[in-house]
Structure 1
């Protein structure tokens, strides 16, 4: 009995210590789809490591599987009035359809999407009940998504320190990382880190194009800022990006090109990693039928899957029919064309355990849309890839996969059954792809700390030290021309030219005076 009492007292003491050290953290997401899922994962990791997490979520369209997740942290759901919510949902859906149907990354469509997000933001900031409730909570820290620009304004309104999670590769947003343009490709340039002269010219010009595009996106929130912040205290979104205590980037150097990082930038790619579980028996029975040939996993992401055309499904299905492997394909019955017969080696599933299948010993290939989380999971298990990018960062992600020889990319617009089947067979049969994928797996797994440990450890560091000012170089506050010493170069150039001009003038005067003297002597 005495031992039981001592154990109980020790447990209570430890619980009290944990509660004393626990911070109140607010996570924010007004975006949808995979952004919901990722912010859910971040919130759960912090909650599991002893913090008190509250998540502010907007109930929008495209939230696959999210509501089925069990969470131990507190969730505050909010939405617009019914008529306004339907209008916002419709605008977002039409914009996403336009992105996928017409171009993988069309800038004016992205701008249009952010105009909608800015309208949504105005409504959130005007919700006095929500804002007062959040202020009363007195949070220690806010964790937000970098693509969710409204959450920057929310953190500023609350007057709280914040850290930023960037769900894409680090070069896809300008938050003043060192820009070594000779070997760091600008986002959407489709370049690698090995550039010849003309590639460097392209990269240099695209730097200015990228900067102007980002400014245009940020400008869509100008009206929201003017409406909700008093004159004289209206922030610039570009300044708020630099105000973050830390930047967590959803990437890893097993995938990314090596480049310089600042002390307040931490790579945490792989946060979606979970313990591997046995797959359902019916799925195992299907895989076993193909013996040593193994199987191919096909998962094109929740949003992209919704907009697969009949022609695309038909071409892919026909290509899979030519493979000796089984094919496990995430595709809902409601999206499957009624006049297309499923290939005999294909198993369609509304939902599948992607991580568990990627870890299966008989997997031979992963056909993916090129989303960051899917790529990271494939690298974690050493699986070669064939990518079919649809929109956003997916094409740029596949540029890196191709450059590192982990897989190949297939253009959505030109995908045909015969060539697609040839590509699939090539990546499966050429053992070099598997070898490189396993090498990337070794890099990915050899970190001394897991992504979750890095996330929690750095957040704890910020909480214990009162912020990340000691991690921010002064250079991030400098204008681009100052940071790159263009003002110094211009001054030295002017000084050199001025000195040269002055010497030339003095020499001319000297020569003229000498000429006059000689003439006088001759006379």
Structure 2
């Protein structure tokens, strides 16, 4: 029966695709690293769904394994002049290093958005690109929700748009501002959905702190808005995000805490999943050496890899040497300290087929930075994790991993070989972690529609219906005091106090009258 129902749902979405004419869709990608990977996949899926996709891409990608094959959709690259680009690249490198070392995180993020605000100013000044986008007459635009410049581009174009959130939904709770704080942890709070009294107090206060920080971030685009929008028609950046027809979120309840969702929010966790390919023979030969012990996969992300210090590499290498498993580690030869001897059970590689290795039957553990794409891939294949989070959403992701017993995390600042080795052995040997990872895998795989089918199906739905006005709650248009019924509360409080005051006054008057009547009678 379940299989029949799933087939009917799939058939329904396929029928919608066949009946719908190909739409002209613009995807925008101005962020690099994992963000590029996600937007590339989204563009591929929409193209495969029968739509005419054009992607506006800032610069080019230098990620290993990407850029070798020409994408099936149209790509328009835009660049800065070489001298400006070099200056911006150096600035970003310094800011990324600040984040990796844990210094002044919010202050650094503000500076990063100031950088993106300047970059946005350059893009909006490119008349050739803006004119092309206007004349192309796209039916729909899709971009990342943290790519605030794209919101301004769409406002200029006057087009309907869809947002893609590469992180957990809590990252954008400030923009949505409709959060039950009693059990939905605020981003950055370090809390789970099971809060005691003091946890709820902390969560409540941190919501206002997050709001303050987000306002400071959005203000970095004020000068760009003033320059490119006429006075009287200048948009408020936070209001622009509420105009989105749909929000696609790059996770699901196999990972995220259960929480209420608006009808126009769709979870598509596992979107990057692709058919598993055989791994190269040299990797297979290495894994075979360790027999039933299996192997550990280590990949700390494209940015974090750059900032692995000699001390961190040394401690990790010493920890791996104590494991009976083989270790396949994404670490460039150029970053390896010359005075550190590679452990005999460790193989380092500049690039590795992460998804294919996570699907390998001999994998026992995934050591990760806790980025959303990596966590999603581990869940997809039921692999327990040890996380070494660096920055951004990574610590928050690992809180959810720990809460669901899929793994544990270690702070990079306190990473030592002995405790790291002990932690890895615990996660590998304690069956609770593997069982929880497999349970999350079942939740992910048992959904009646794949993430790709959900993405294409919902895009087709709003194209057919002319938008998603029927999915947007009226709350998006209400002022905050109405949303939280403060006006009702104050009215009822005033009415209650007024009634009590009137009753007291009447009672006092009656008492005085009776007292006066008694005195007259006595005389």
Q: TM-score, normalised by structure 2?
A: 0.94
What is the CA-CA distance between 1:61 and the residue it aligns to? 7.8
Matches within 5 A, 1:115-154: 115-154=114-153
2:7 corresponds in structure 1 to none
- Find out whether 1:334 has 2:334 as its counterpart: yes
What is the CA-CA distance between 1:286 and the residue it aligns to? 0.3
Distance in structure 1 (CA, Å) of the matches to 2:61 and 2:36: 11
- Superposed CA offset, 1:54-98 (max 9, x none): 110111787554323430111111111122222222222111111
Structure 1 residues 18 and 515, CA gap change in structure 2 (3 angstroms):
closer
Distance in structure 1 (CA, Å) of the matches to 2:206 and 2:288: 50
Matches within 5 A, 1:57-72: 57-59=57-59, 63-72=63-72
Structure 1 residues 214 and 64, CA gap change in structure 2 (3 angstroms):
farther
Where 2:233 maps in the other structure, the secondary structure is coil
Matches within 5 A, 1:384-399: 384-399=384-399
Where 2:72 maps in the other structure, the secondary structure is coil
2:12 corresponds in structure 1 to none
2:112 corresponds in structure 1 to 113
CA contact (8 A) 1:178 1:260 kept: no
2:516 corresponds in structure 1 to 516
**Structure 1 runs of 4+ with >3 Å offset:** 17-20, 60-66
2:196 corresponds in structure 1 to 196
CA contact (8 A) 2:249 2:266 kept: yes
Unaligned runs of 5+ in 1: 1-16
- Superposed CA offset, 1:8-27 (max 9, x none): xxxxxxxxx97981111100
Distance in structure 2 (CA, Å) of the matches to 1:478 and 1:96: 38
Structure 1 residues 309 and 465, CA gap change in structure 2 (3 angstroms):
same
1:441 corresponds in structure 2 to 441
Where 2:67 maps in the other structure, the secondary structure is helix
- Find out whether 1:500 has 2:487 as its counterpart: no
CA contact (8 A) 1:177 1:261 kept: no
- Superposed CA offset, 1:369-422 (max 9, x none): 000010010011000000000000000000000000000011111110000000
CA contact (8 A) 2:20 2:460 kept: no
- Find out whether 1:352 has 2:347 as its counterpart: no
Distance in structure 1 (CA, Å) of the matches to 2:480 and 2:321: 54
Larger RCO (CA within 8 A; separation ≥ 6): 2
- Superposed CA offset, 1:299-337 (max 9, x none): 000000011111111000000000000000000001111
What is the CA-CA distance between 1:518 and the residue it aligns to? 2.3
Structure 1 residues 441 and 401, CA gap change in structure 2 (3 angstroms):
same
Distance in structure 1 (CA, Å) of the matches to 2:249 and 2:292: 38
1:12 corresponds in structure 2 to none
What is the CA-CA distance between 1:219 and the residue it aligns to? 1.4
CA contact (8 A) 2:102 2:391 kept: no
Distance in structure 1 (CA, Å) of the matches to 2:456 and 2:438: 28
What is the CA-CA distance between 1:231 and the residue it aligns to? 1.3
Q: TM-score, normalised by structure 1?
A: 0.94
CA contact (8 A) 2:20 2:464 kept: no
1:301 corresponds in structure 2 to 301
Where 1:68 maps in the other structure, the secondary structure is coil
Unaligned runs of 5+ in 2: 1-16
Matches within 5 A, 1:241-390: 241-390=241-390
Count the aligned residue pairs. Answer: 506
2:8 corresponds in structure 1 to none
- Aligned-pair RMSD on alpha carbons? 1.5
What is the CA-CA distance between 1:178 and the residue it aligns to? 3.7
- Superposed CA offset, 1:248-296 (max 9, x none): 0001100000110011000001111011011000000000000000000
Distance in structure 1 (CA, Å) of the matches to 2:110 and 2:27: 25
Distance in structure 2 (CA, Å) of the matches to 1:513 and 1:397: 71
Q: Which moved more, 1:204-213 or 1:19-28?
A: 19-28
- Superposed CA offset, 1:148-187 (max 9, x none): 0000000110111000000000011134264111111111
What is the CA-CA distance between 1:502 and the residue it aligns to? 1.9
Q: Which moved more, 1:118-127 or 1:66-75?
A: 66-75
1:456 corresponds in structure 2 to 456
Where 1:512 maps in the other structure, the secondary structure is helix
CA contact (8 A) 1:62 1:303 kept: no
Q: Which moved more, 1:407-416 or 1:91-100?
A: 91-100
